[in-house]
């Protein structure tokens, strides 16, 4: 996801997934913050929000 250019449009569709691993959901949700800073329009379908805790 780091290679996605600024001002891109990204749609991640998980609506037809039977199961999405929690680690994958965390990575996608962490990317939301990075996407905002890079002015990336991110659309998530069927991806639940989770609270992420940063490692110290």
Q: How confident is the model at residue 56 (pLDDT cuts 50, 70, 90)?
A: very low
Residue 49 structure tokens: 């929000």
Q: Which domain holds residue 39?
A: 1-56
Please tell me the distance from the alpha carbon of residue 20 to that of residue 37, in angstroms, as a whole number. 25
CB-count burial class (<10 Å; 0-12, 13-18, 19+) for 25: middle
Residue-level pLDDT at 42: 93
Domain count, the chain: 1
Task: Say what the pTM is.
Answer: 0.73
For 9-47, write each residue's pLDDT tens digit. Answer: 999 999 999 999 999 998 998 898 889 899 999 999 998
Residues 6 or more apart in contact with residue 25 via CB below 8 angstroms: 47, 48, 50
């Amino acid at each position: 996801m780091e290679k996605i250019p600024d001002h891109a449009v990204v749609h991640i569709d998980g609506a037809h997934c039977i199961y999405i691993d929690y680690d994958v959901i965390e990575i996608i949700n962490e990317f939301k913050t990075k996407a905002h800073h890079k002015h990336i329009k991110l659309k998530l379908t069927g991806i639940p929000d989770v609270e992420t805790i940063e490692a110290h």
